Amino acid sequence: MSNRNQQLFERAQRHIPGGVNSPVRAFRSVGGTPCFFTEGRGARVTDAEGKTYLDYVGSWGPLILGHAHPEVVAAVQSAAARGLSFGAPTELEIEMADLLCELLPSLEMVRLVSSGTEATMSAIRLARGYTGRDVLIKFEGCYHGHSDSLLVRAGSGMLTFGNPSSGGVPADLAQHTLVLDYNDPDQLAMAFAEHGERIAAVIVEPVVGNMNLIAPRPDFLHAMRHLCTKYGAVLIFDEVMTGFRVGPQCAQGAYGITPDLTTLGKVIGGGMPVGAFGGRRDIMEKIAPLGPVYQAGTLSGNPVAVAAGLATLRLVQAPGFYEALALKTQALCDGLCAAAQKHGVAFSARAVGGMFGLYFRAECPESYAEVMACDKEAFNRFFHAMLDAGHYFAPSAFEAGFVSSAHSNADIDETVAAAERIFDGW
Ligand SMILES: *Cc1c(COP(=O)(O)O)cnc(C)c1O
């Protein structure tokens, strides 16, 4: 059936708002009909029309080993056969916590949750409870999940408090959040000079993957660490996307900065719902039942989900895993840039570990404003041409892309060759 995706999309819209359970899946940004997937294996996914694509979304980051890795699937099957959930502690959760603390030196204690949103929401409550302060600093273009305090955009003046960026978020709540420019250490220093004694936490994506991909200027992260220490604010690295994706010690290892708290998700669940937040022991001991900050979850540390995460985290420890992944991701970016240049297309690309950004702009952007200035129409044309050719990229010009260990060099070459044919007729 050649229009099966369209039929499913129409049917989905009857009882699911917009036909999707998370908005970007609806293809609103690029137009057209979303693919309904039926199967994924390694680097490839198959849609309801039987068409196969090389996948550069990887479920938005979790699938660092590709789809349906046999060892991950076996771990899930074996855990499921022993019981889906207990709502009581299990040894698997200890293994997961021990492994996370061993792999990430900034973690002295960690708590498991079921999504990245829960991890960031809980880390912020904890930072507020620990400091006894309310003000939160975040950066325009960073996404930290969909909890109320975080759906805030910049106020009208540079250092004025924010406004809700979503319906249903009380303006009062946005009044506790300052939204600043990413990669601007001077502005951050001004915010601390003015409000320092009231700032509970700074939350940041150490490499941003939610406004396409933006790499941090090293002085930006260093200034942030310095200012948080000076003013007694909690530095939260939101590594839900970058965690075990950009390298074996996440972005904090790659850039040599130790945050006070870290949030994780995506890769640590290997495709199943797992999130985590952890960090300094003196902060983590403020959480219930040890301390006064409440946080809980019926399915937190779910054995089936944790089994998938543990299997994934063990497999990425293979010697050379991250080096090989980074080389392939870089090869994709280099190949696409060369193809564009050959045909005079204004295009740039950047890889950080196993994630990448594609920009219809001559130079890689370094700020939210520069990302917004990319040619969105050109991206949409590229997206649809690549989709037709069997290469699935994120359906938005403002999302990062992902390569998995299941992508072969031949897969990367195939994608670059398809892009070159498209740029040839540009
Ligand atoms: C995906 C993401 C989240 C939200 O995680 P969910 O599991 O979708 O709730 C939070 N922060 C960052 C940086 C993310 O990329």
What average pLDDT score do residues 238-259 get? 98
pLDDT tens digit sequence for 38-49: 999 999 999 999
What average pLDDT score do residues 146-175 get? 87
pLDDT at 57 exceeding the cut of 80: yes
Q: How far apart are CA 47 and CA 51, in angstroms?
A: 6
DSSP letters of 361-408?
A: SSS---SHHHHHTS-HHHHHHHHHHHHHTTEE--SSTTS-EE--TT--
pLDDT tens digit sequence for 261-271: 999 999 999 99
Ligand 1 pocket, mutate which of 113, 138, 207, 210 (most atoms under 8 A from CB):
210
Q: Calculate how far, in angstroms, residue 120's C-alpha sits from the geometric centre of ligand 1.
A: 8
Q: What is the 3-state secondary structure (H, E, C) of 337-349?
A: HHHHHHCCCCCEE
**CATH 3.90.1150.10 placement within the chain:** 319-395+412-426
- Ligand 1 contacts CB of residue 243 (under 6 A): no
Atom of ligand 1 nearest to the CA of 265: 7
Count the neighbouring beta carbons within 10 Å of the beta carbon of residue 91.
Answer: 8
**CATH 3.40.640.10 placement within the chain:** 71-315
- Among the listed residues 227, 245, 283, 313, the one whose alpha carbon sits nearest the alpha carbon of residue 107: 283
Phi/psi at 231 (5° precision) = -100, 5
Q: Is residue 351 classed as helix, strand or coil in its secondary structure? A: strand
The structural architecture, per CATH, of the domain 319-395+412-426 is Alpha-Beta Complex (3.90)
Query: Who wins on pLDDT, 155 or 285?
Result: 285
Q: What is the pLDDT of residue 1?
A: 60
Q: Calculate how far, in angstroms, residue 424's C-alpha sits from the geometric centre of ligand 1.
A: 36
Atom of ligand 1 nearest to the CA of 209: 15
Ligand 1 pocket, mutate which of 148, 242, 266 (most atoms under 8 A from CB):
266
Q: What is the pLDDT of residue 205?
A: 98
- Ligand 1 contacts CB of residue 240 (under 6 A): yes
pLDDT tens digit sequence for 311-355: 999 999 999 999 999 999 999 999 999 999 999 999 999 999 999
Atom of ligand 1 nearest to the CA of 238: 13
What average pLDDT score do residues 379-384 get? 98
* Cβ atoms of 397 and 374 closer than 8 Å: yes
Q: How far apart are CA 281 and CA 261, in angstroms?
A: 10
71-315 has which fold?
Aspartate Aminotransferase; domain 2 (3.40.640)
Q: What is the pLDDT of residue 155?
A: 80
266 noted as active-site residue: yes
Q: What is the pLDDT of residue 376?
A: 96
Q: Which of 181, 184, 238, 260 is catalytic?
A: 238
* Cβ atoms of 95 and 102 closer than 8 Å: no
Share of the chain above pLDDT 90, in %: 95
Q: How far apart are CA 369 and CA 198, in angstroms?
A: 28
pLDDT tens digit sequence for 2-32: 799 999 999 999 999 999 999 999 999 999 9
